Chains A and B, each alone.
Chain A
Amino acid sequence: MSTNTKPAIEISGLIKRYGQKVAVDGIDLTVYQGEIFALLGPNGAGKTTTVEILEGFRNLSGGKVRVLDFDPATTGEAGRKWRNKIGIVLQSTTDAADLSVQETVEHFSHYYENPRNVDEVIDEVGLREKAKELARNLSGGQRRRLDVALGIIGSPELLFLDEPTTGFDPEARRAFWDLLNKLRGEGTTIFLTTHYLDEAEALADRVGVITAGKIIEIATPATLGDRGNAPARITWLENGQMQELETSEPTAELKKLSTRFNGEIPQLQVIRPNLEDIYLRMIGENR
């Protein structure tokens, strides 16, 4: 995380009800300026609801949110001033108008006081070859990239991304990570939701796990779910069979093994639980 500890998003006691159903059930969370924060959680956990309250699209039923020290529900001129600093990529994809990629990005750039360069943005999301193509003729992943382009065109101070890389091929996903890291380098605060744990691990300074409208933990990807102290698995080949043991002191175990084999241990692997293992365990425990 950057040394800047001014909050960009402050959520306290946030509650959202849809009729009888409580979709968000008392969330407290602070996201700091310049940080990338990832919200993880199963389908229906309340991620989109939370994000869209922060974006000013939905009304809250209880609690308080401040986004860039502003109430997102504000309308009128003050609201528009605030929106000039906010970038939004919604979970659902842009409808396909009969406009080309170039025309669409160009059009929306005029809404902002300090837009990014249109051609640069098209390059950054990897749509250069498709710049003249009508949006309706793009593939699903390409259309998603257009969404991202429209989210960053206004040089936002704070960028919301709701499952941004759904439908991206692996190469596009890597390129997108590079883009987000570049934006972070420029000081942009990023709040994203994702179902890809590798994405959260590669990008996020901190992650929050939400299930059934409650945040069960907020931590860095390296420490989530006590990951740092989780047992490691060691596997090796002995007597023609793969052997396996779990231990919280892998170094000591390796020393023993190494003594026993008097040198190289055949096919040795030390496996730490990855973020997905930890996450699945946490979600399982909270069912």
Chain B
Amino acid sequence: MKTLKLGLLRGRMEVKVFMRGRESVVFTLLFPVILLFIFGSVFQNTIAPGVTFSQYFVAGMIASGLVNTGFQQLAITIPMEREFGTLKRLRGRPISVSAYFIGKAYLVTILMILQTALLLGFGAAFFGLDIPTTSGKWITFTWLILLGSACSTVLGIAFSVVPKSGRGASAIVSPIVIILQFFSGVFFVFSELPIWMQQFAALFPLKWLTQGMRSVFLPESFATQEVAGNWELGRTAIILTLWLIIGLILSIKTFKWSEE
């Protein structure tokens, strides 16, 4: 009970601090929107009847948003907090690691809502993104977001032990995210990528999230264009859940307060 209370208290504080940091707001929240504008404006070709590349791209960017606000943001900021001693100071206080994690999850949730709203809004306003009208699609959208951001959060915390210094973290994490985005069909049409790239991407959550988001935002008829010939939502749920469990175990087992 106290853990939850302190976790939410930390979460509200983290949101406040995040919003005051101009760099983090631009880098994490606005960068995907800027990318959306660039790619959406450059590639306006039609990739299937009634589907433009910008629509395809928006679906991928919404999925990427989950990776940006969770995995990328945490895997960069936690090593910095470790290096600057923020975590050490926290450890000297009557607060549990779980409360710290809850605070991070709260921050990710808020950022994810903002990020998704921004991308949905701009996608619908400028790039012909169809906002779904059936409740079935909204249900898919909701579980994808929930499972995706949970996955992204725990994997970000787990990965935070990899960078050896706070300063170097972004140099390690950002390329990983960008490569995954290329491989997972965010910047290109997935079915047109080389097979080995497709198979590699299928090991990681992002490919499944982008495909899931396409099932929400692209017409039903597009399903036949996917590699498997359908949206594979069941398999998506299983793979995301597996990653969530792996991430959860890793983050609990490997988390450390300081480098000592």
Contact = CB atoms under 8 A, between A and B. Distances in A.
The answer to whether A and B assemble together is yes
Interface of A: 55-58, 80-81, 83-84, 86, 88, 90, 92, 94-95, 97-99, 103, 107-108, 110-113, 134, 150, 154
B94 interface: yes
Nearest to B14: A97
Nearest to A107: B13
A16 to B, nearest CB: 12
Contacts of A56: 92
A111 to B, nearest CB: 5
Contacts of A90: 85, 88-89, 92
B94 A111 contact: yes
A80 B94 contact: yes
B13 A80 contact: no
Given A83-B93, A112-B93, A134-B20, 13 more contacts: A81-B94, A83-B94, A84-B94, A88-B92, A90-B85, A90-B92, A97-B86, A98-B16, A98-B17, A99-B13, A107-B9, A111-B6, A112-B94
A108 to B, nearest CB: 7
Nearest to B20: A98
Interface string B83-115: 011101101111110000000000000000000
B84 to A, nearest CB: 4
Contacts of A97: 17, 86
Contacts of A150: 89
A108 B93 CA distance: 9
A73 to B, nearest CB: 12
Given A98-B21, A99-B16, A107-B9, A57 B89 contact: no
Contacts of B9: 107, 110
Contacts of A98: 16-17, 20-21
Contacts of B85: 90, 92, 94-95
Contacts of B88: 57, 90
Contacts of A80: 94-96
Nearest to B16: A99
A108 B16 CA distance: 15
B186 to A, nearest CB: 31
B260 interface: yes
Given A97-B17, A98-B20, A99-B17, A57 B94 contact: no
Nearest to A95: B84
Interface residues of B, number: 20
7 contacts: A80-B94, A83-B93, A95-B85, A99-B13, A99-B16, A108-B93, A112-B94
Chain A CB within 10 Å, residue with most, of B13, B16, B21, B258: B13
Contacts of A88: 89, 92
Interface string B69-94: 00000000000000011101101111
Contacts of B21: 98
A32 B159 CA distance: 44
A83 B6 CA distance: 15
A159 to B, nearest CB: 12
Contacts of A55: 92
B101 to A, nearest CB: 15
B92 A83 contact: yes
A107 B229 CA distance: 53
Contact of B260 (A58, A103, A110, A134): A58
A58 B13 CA distance: 28
Interface in B25-47: none
Nearest to A85: B94
A86 B93 CA distance: 8
A103 B15 CA distance: 13
Contacts of A134: 20
B93 A111 contact: yes
Contacts of A99: 13, 16-17
Contacts of B86: 95, 97
Given A95-B85, A97-B17, A99-B13, A110 B6 contact: yes
Nearest to B81: A95
A105 to B, nearest CB: 12
B2 to A, nearest CB: 9
A93 to B, nearest CB: 9
A253 B6 CA distance: 68
A110 to B, nearest CB: 6
A201 B95 CA distance: 36
A58 B260 CA distance: 8
Chain B CB within 10 Å, residue with most, of A84, A90, A98, A113: A98
B82 to A, nearest CB: 11
